[in-house]
Structure 1
Amino acid sequence: MLPVLFLALAALSPSAGAAPADVEVMIVGTYHMANPGRDIHNAHADDVLAPRRQRELADVAAHLARFEPTRVAVEWPADLAATRYAAYLGGTLGESRNEVVQLGFRLAKLAGLREVDGLDVEGDFPYAAVETYAKAHGQQAILADANAQVEAFVRAMQAKIDADTVADVLRFLNDPARIARDNAFYRQMLRIGAGAQQPGVDLLTDWYKRNFAICANLVQRARAGDRVVVFYGAGHAFLLRQCVQEMPGYRLVEANGYLP
């Protein structure tokens, strides 16, 4: 019995077939620093190339670097991110106000990374069909209420952009309780439709599909033991966080535990 007991204990020891280390992922929800104006509701960022903002961005990167990331992932397609990051490292990219450059590339360079992961994919967002159905079926009030909540959030974010530091804005955007509340807009879309006509369901399905494709790009590239910082528009944070939290072998790290 003693040899059998010894073998059983050896199988339970940490050195025997130890499980691979978790992938730690920090999702940093961002605002659009270059003001592309592509969202339904948009805030306006001041010039992040101004000296004050550059100092603030450097401070943000220095604090996030304490996480010691082994990968940085950004909201650009893989080929674009690779090409532009190489130019950034080579000093040939030129000026850019985009948050991918100002946050993602800055941190990756500070961490000594030779490449970044571009995770973005194209996706449909058929909001016009939702709006058309709501107008035709007397559901404008539902849509108006959902949009009013988003507008209130954008006003609050704009006030922080106007008065506070970049770090303050990012801490506001990455508060877990706020992220959970602000997903209500998408849930409200399920009220728009009836029977076989479900434009709200279609919108939500397309939104989920895009975000899960983004998360798939993340998990297909990360390796056990990686520490990944993901910079993405704050509207994506809820689903990306959920994906990471529910993925076996992954652990979500709160950005606000590192931001200044």
Structure 2
Amino acid sequence: MKYLLLLLAVLAVLAAPAARAQTKPAELLLLGTFHFHNPGLDLVKTKSFDILGPKAQAELETMTDKISRFHPTKIFVEAPWDKQTELDTLYRHYLRGDYEAYIQGRFPEQRRAFYRKNEIMQLAFRAGKKAGVPRIYGLDYTKTAFPYDSVIKAMQAAHQQGLIQAIEATFKAVEADQNRKIATFSLTQLLLDFNTPQSLTANKRVYIDKLNRAGAVGDFAGPYLVSEWYRRNLYMFSIVQKTMTPADGKAVVLVGAGHAAMMREFAELDPRFRLRELKDVLGK
């Protein structure tokens, strides 16, 4: 205990001059999204959105115009952090204007849909080119577990039928709500809806409110899944923290809404960042 108190005291002393030295926090636009190319791998199964249709493409042009006027110096996306070279190559061809020809020659037909529809290319690359951003940074970290089947088995063994039903009902309600919105909302409306504080909180709440309670008292299958989800997002956010420099005034972080819900909490605890709301950026 005395070592913990000593550590806290040292950190407090060190933080004081650092806080005085910091002039202005970097503005962080945390943009949570659904996956434009929907492989159906998430627990909640949603319908696909016609991202290549003329209406969505027109909206993307307007949206990325506004994001470019936000003037980000760095853009982070949900691509593997350890495959930055591949992301650099894709973005380089996008900037050159021969992106379509490159993916035609580089990837088999069944993979090309991903490289055409994914939000990284459709939104981040487009905004980055308009903003003059030289590089798009990957921050995804996937070497974590998500043992949902084990959590279900733990709940069954603990006779938590009510909790199982509550989790299934939650997923069904979210699925129905998202499918309704995909069928009726414009792309802009969808992204604004995904990024309201209410939506982000609801996205995160299921982990603590339900999954963390899974299993008997001595069975930590539920908390393990939740901790792994936190770990993945903490690792991802650490890349933003370590990549941003004092010279970077603004950044965009484009990730799935589930990640955005977690990272919002982390960003609020780091005084070097000030969150900007998507509605304010797109409203201008």
Q: TM (normalized to structure 2)?
A: 0.81
Question: C-alpha displacement at 1:196, in angstroms?
Answer: 2.8
Selected match of 1:54 from 41, 57, 60: 57
1:172 corresponds in structure 2 to 193
1:253 corresponds in structure 2 to 276
1:234 corresponds in structure 2 to 257
Question: C-alpha displacement at 1:18, in angstroms?
Answer: 5.4
2:229 corresponds in structure 1 to 207
Gaps of 5+ in 1: 1-16
Question: Would you say 1:26 and 2:29 are equivalent positions?
Answer: yes
2:162 corresponds in structure 1 to 141
CA offsets per residue over residues 151-191 of structure 1, 9 Å max, x none?
32232222222112110000110001221123221011121
Q: In structure 2, how many angstroms separate the alpha carbons of the residues matched to 1:241 and 1:232?
A: 11
Question: Would you say 1:119 and 2:139 are equivalent positions?
Answer: yes
2:218 corresponds in structure 1 to 196
Conserved 8 A contact 2:155-2:216? no
Q: Report SS of the residue matched to 1:251.
A: strand
Question: C-alpha displacement at 1:139, in angstroms?
Answer: 1.3
Question: C-alpha displacement at 1:244, in angstroms?
Answer: 0.7
Q: In structure 2, how many angstroms separate the alpha carbons of the residues matched to 1:157 and 1:199?
A: 28
Question: Would you say 1:99 and 2:97 are equivalent positions?
Answer: no
In the superposition, relative to structure 1, how do residues 240 and 56 fare at CA in structure 2: closer, same or farther (>3 Å)? same
Aligned residue identity for 1:210: R
Question: C-alpha displacement at 1:50, in angstroms?
Answer: 1.5
Conserved 8 A contact 2:43-2:171? no
1:11 corresponds in structure 2 to none
Conserved 8 A contact 1:150-1:182? no
CA offsets per residue over residues 54-82 of structure 1, 9 Å max, x none?
10111111222231111111000231322
Conserved 8 A contact 1:24-1:251? yes
CA offsets per residue over residues 188-209 of structure 1, 9 Å max, x none?
1121122331100100010000
Backbone CA RMSD of aligned residues: 1.6
Q: In structure 1, how many angstroms separate the alpha carbons of the residues matched to 2:275 and 2:186?
A: 25
Question: C-alpha displacement at 1:150, in angstroms?
Answer: 2.9
Q: TM (normalized to structure 1)?
A: 0.88
Number of residue pairs the alignment of both structures matches: 244
Gaps of 5+ in 2: 1-19, 101-114
Detail structure 1 runs of 4+ shifted over 3 Å in the superposition.
Answer: none
1:185 corresponds in structure 2 to 206
Aligned residue identity for 1:257: D
Question: C-alpha displacement at 1:240, in angstroms?
Answer: 0.5
Q: In structure 1, how many angstroms separate the alpha carbons of the residues matched to 2:62 and 2:48?
A: 18
Q: In structure 1, how many angstroms separate the alpha carbons of the residues matched to 2:131 and 2:242?
A: 22
Q: Report SS of the residue matched to 2:28.
A: strand
Q: In structure 2, how many angstroms separate the alpha carbons of the residues matched to 1:182 and 1:19?
A: 33
